[in-house]
Amino acid sequence: MIELHRGDEMALRHDDGTSYTRLTMGVGWDKKSGAGALSGANTPEVDLDASAVQYAGDQLFDLAFFNHLATRDGSVTHLGDNISGRGEGDDEQIAVDLTKVYPKVDTMLFLVSSYQGHSLEFVHHAYCRLLGDDGEELARFTLTQGVPRTGFMLAKMVRDDDGWRLHAIGQGIAVTVPTESLDVLQRFV
């Protein structure tokens, strides 16, 4: 497993040089004690949402998120919405079948956002990880400190002549629902 940092890249290939065919992006977080509290008795949940957005060149192609669980080509599937961050392990996962990605799609963005508009300063132990075909953890990106934004651009996958590459971005962004923030996402393509 590789701990990713902003700007890191990695080829999405097995040790023998063959390309991965299936990947899973897992996202996990915990709410800080008292986070989002309006008073001592009112501590609403912090609902983060994982999203994957596909582009063909600089044009939006499709996306998968809590309100649209799969892309039209069936290559990306959101595996369910966790609205609290409770529980062990990944709170949300997005599965990617690279063999089904429409040929014109050359970029996929992976992000988390707070549907309710909470600042990411309200969460801790937040991470994103990438799992390979066999469930092995290939890479992890840890949010080591709260980000004073409602979203976080984790990484992007870019297709070139040699296959897919992962680029760690690690940048706070002002996003609550991806479909309402396409102008913000566009700058990462």
What is the per-residue pLDDT across 138-179, written as a single tens digit (0 to 9) for each? Answer: 988 887 556 788 888 889 999 998 899 999 998 889 988 888
DSSP track, 34-62: TTT-SBTTB-----EEEEEEEEETTEEEE
Quote the longest CA-to-CA distance of the chain. Answer: 56
Tell whether the model's pLDDT for residue 25 goes beyond 70. Answer: yes
- 105, 159 Cβ separation under 8 angstroms: yes
* Interacting residues of 22 by C-beta distance below 8 A, sequence separation 6+: 95, 96, 97, 98, 99, 132, 133
Taking only the tens place, the pLDDT of each residue in 71-120 is: 999 999 998 765 554 556 778 899 999 999 999 999 999 998 888 887 87
End-to-end CA distance of the chain: 26
N residues, the chain: 189
- Going by pLDDT thresholds of 50, 70 and 90, the confidence category of residue 1 is low
**What per-residue confidence (pLDDT) applies to 81?**
61
**What per-residue confidence (pLDDT) applies to 40?**
47
151: containing domain: 2-186
- Going by pLDDT thresholds of 50, 70 and 90, the confidence category of residue 44 is low
**What per-residue confidence (pLDDT) applies to 34?**
58
| Mean pLDDT over each residue of the chain, to the nearest integer | 85
Q: Indicate the DSSP class of residue 89.
A: S
Structure tokens at 59: 């044009």
What span, in angstroms and rounded, lies between the C-alpha atoms of 133 and 153? 23
Number of domains in the chain: 1
State the CATH number of the domain containing residue 114: 2.60.60.30
Tell whether the model's pLDDT for residue 122 goes beyond 80. Answer: no
pTM here is 0.87
